C-alpha cells in the first residue's frame, strides 16, 4: 500500500524535507503527486574513471583510497553534465529527507525521463525506515543518444510505504552498522558490510591476503591512487602460497616499482631524443626532395609513431612510485 497525497501532506513534518538553496525551495503544491513526491537532482555527481576491473576480495585496499575510481563533479548554475549511451554516473536527490520508523520508502523514475532512456537506480530503489539523507541515484543512459542533465531536474519520485508495525531496529541503529546515514550520495562502501567481512574471513586464502594487506598498509600508510592500483595488479598476479610475508611482498613490489620507473624513464628519454631527430629528418625530406619514394613514407611513418610515443611519455607514465628508496624512507620514519 502506498500513501496518497492526502496522507503525504499530513506527514510532511515527519519527512522533514530540506533544501540547501533558498532559490529552489520544496514546493508541496507542485511536487506532491497523487501518491508520490517529485524529487530533483542535486548539483553533485560522481563520474567513473577508466578502470577495467574491480576485485571485490581486496576490501582493505579500498579503505586506503575508497573513491579513487570516481571523480566528483559539482556543477554551478547553468552547467550540465553529459551522459553518453550505455554509461552510468552517480548523482543524488537535491532534497534531503527522513523516512519515519513506521514507513519505508521507494525511489522510482518518472515516465517523462524513462521514455528518454534514463533510469535513476540500479536495483537500489528501497529506503529503510529511519534513513535520513539525500538519496543516491545510479543514473544510466539506455538510449542511443547522448543526454545532458542538469541540477534541479525533477527526475525521480519518492513513494512512501506504511509498515505493518514499527521495526525493532531502524536504519542507523548501532547493531546494524548502517553505512549510508547522512551520506553524500557518492560511490559504494560495499566492503564495510559486516556480512562481506564474514564471507571473506570464511576463506582462508582471502583472510590471509587481508592480513598481509593490513600489515603492508601499516608499514607504508596512504599512497597515491595510481600506486595502490599498481599494487592491486601486482597482488593479483601472485599465487596465494606466496602471500606469507608482508615484508618480502613489499620488497618485491618495491623492486617492481623500480623497474617500472626505469622503463618509464627510458621511454620518456627515448621519445624526447627521437622525436626532434625524426621531425627534422621529415622536414628535410619535404624541403629537399622533389619526388617521394618509399623511403620518405617510412620516415614519415616512424616520425608519426614517435609523436604518439612522445604523447604517451608525457601523459601516461606514472608520476608517483613506491620503489626501494621510497619504501626505505617510509619504514625508517
Query: What SS3 state is found at 92?
Result: strand
CB neighbour class for 19 (10 Å; exposed up to 12, middle 13-18, buried from 19)? middle
Tell me what pLDDT residue 204 has: 41
Q: Which of 23-27, 183-187, 281-285 has the highest mean pLDDT?
A: 23-27
- How far CA 45 is from CA of 38, 147, 194, 216, 223, in Å, comes to 19, 15, 27, 33, 25
Alpha-carbon distances, residue 107 vs 119, 125, 155 (angstroms): 11, 5, 10
Predicted pLDDT of residue 199: 47
The architecture in CATH of the region 5-189 reads Distorted Sandwich (2.70)
Among candidates 126, 128, 125, which has minimal Cα distance to 173?
Answer: 128
Say what the pTM is.
0.61
138 catalytically annotated: yes
What pLDDT does residue 203 have? 45
In the predicted structure, residue 163 carries a pLDDT above the cut 60: yes
Lowest mean pLDDT among 90-104, 108-122, 261-275: 261-275
* Whole-number Cα distances in Å, 216 to 139, 200, 209, 221: 36, 18, 11, 8
Q: Name the percent of the chain lying above pLDDT 70.
A: 57
CA dihedral 294, 300, 304, 305 (to 10 degrees): 50
Please determine, for residue 190, whether its predicted confidence score (pLDDT) is greater than 90. Answer: no
Please tell me which residue in 138, 224, 226, 252 is annotated as part of the active site: 138
Residues of the chain with CATH 2.70.40.10: 5-189
pLDDT tens profile 282-317: 555 555 555 556 555 666 666 666 666 666 555 555
Question: Which has the minimum average pLDDT: 81-85, 163-167, 192-196, 254-258?
Answer: 192-196
- Judge contact between 182 and 133, C-beta under 8 A: yes
What is the average per-residue pLDDT within 51-58?
Answer: 60
Cell 530503489 sits at which residue?
Answer: 125
- The grid coordinates of residue 325 equal 628508496
Tell me the percentage of the chain whose pLDDT exceeds 90: 37
In this predicted model, what pLDDT tens digit does every residue of 65-75 receive, in sequence order?
Answer: 556 677 889 99
* Bigger pLDDT: 116 vs 299: 116
Q: How far apart, in whole angstroms, are the C-alpha atoms of residue 205 and residue 197? A: 14
What average pLDDT does range 32-39 have in this prediction? 97
Average pLDDT of the residues of the chain: 77
Q: SS3 letters for 216-280?
A: HHHHHCCCCHHHHHHHHHHHHCCCHHHCCCHHHHHHHHHHHHHHHHHHHHHHHHHHHHHHHHHHH
Collapse the DSSP code of 64 into the 3-class scheme (helix H, G, I; strand E, B; otherwise coil) and give the result: helix
Amino acid at each position: 500500500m502506498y500513501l496518497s497525497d492526502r496522507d503525504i501532506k499530513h506527514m510532511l513534518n515527519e519527512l522533514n524535507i530540506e533544501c540547501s538553496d533558498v532559490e529552489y525551495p520544496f514546493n508541496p503544491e507542485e511536487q506532491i503527486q497523487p501518491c508520490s513526491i517529485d524529487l530533483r537532482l542535486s548539483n553533485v555527481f560522481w563520474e567513473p574513471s577508466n578502470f577495467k576491473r574491480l576485485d571485490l576480495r581486496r576490501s582493505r585496499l579500498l579503505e586506503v583510497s575508497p573513491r579513487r575510481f570516481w571523480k566528483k563533479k559539482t556543477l554551478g548554475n547553468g552547467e550540465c553534465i553529459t551522459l553518453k549511451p550505455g554509461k552510468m554516473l552517480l548523482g543524488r536527490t537535491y532534497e534531503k529527507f527522513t523516512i519515519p520508523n513506521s514507513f519505508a520508502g521507494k525511489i522510482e523514475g518518472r515516465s517523462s525521463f524513462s521514455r528518454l532512456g534514463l533510469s535513476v537506480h540500479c536495483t537500489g530503489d528501497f529506503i529503510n525506515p529511519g534513513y535520513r539523507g539525500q538519496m543516491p541515484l545510479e543514473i544510466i543512459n539506455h538510449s542511443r543518444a547522448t543526454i545532458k542533465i542538469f541540477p534541479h531536474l525533477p527526475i525521480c519520485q519518492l513513494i512512501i510505504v506504511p509498515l505493518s508495525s514499527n521495526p525493532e531496529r531502524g536504519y542507523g541503529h548501532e547493531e546494524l552498522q548502517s553505512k549510508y546515514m547522512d551520506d553524500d550520495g557518492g560511490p559504494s562502501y560495499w566492503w564495510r558490510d559486516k556480512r562481506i567481512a564474514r564471507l571473506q574471513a570464511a576463506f582462508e586464502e582471502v583472510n590471509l591476503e587481508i592480513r598481509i594487506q593490513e600489515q603492508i598498509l601499516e608499514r607504508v600508510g596512504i599512497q597515491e591512487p595510481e600506486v595502490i592500483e599498481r599494487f592491486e595488479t601486482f597482488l593479483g598476479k601472485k599465487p596465494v602460497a606466496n602471500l606469507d610475508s608482508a615484508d618480502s611482498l613489499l620488497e618485491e613490489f618495491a623492486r617492481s616499482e623500480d623497474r617500472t620507473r626505469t622503463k618509464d624513464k627510458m621511454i620518456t628519454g627515448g621519445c624526447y631524443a627521437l622525436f626532434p631527430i625524426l621531425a627534422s629528418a621529415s622536414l628535410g625530406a619535404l624541403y629537399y626532395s622533389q619526388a617521394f619514394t618509399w623511403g620518405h613514407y617510412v620516415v614519415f611513418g616512424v616520425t608519426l609513431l614517435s609523436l604518439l610515443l612522445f604523447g604517451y611519455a608525457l601523459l601516461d607514465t606514472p608520476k608517483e612510485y613506491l620503489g626501494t628508496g621510497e619504501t626505505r624512507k617510509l619504514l625508517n620514519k
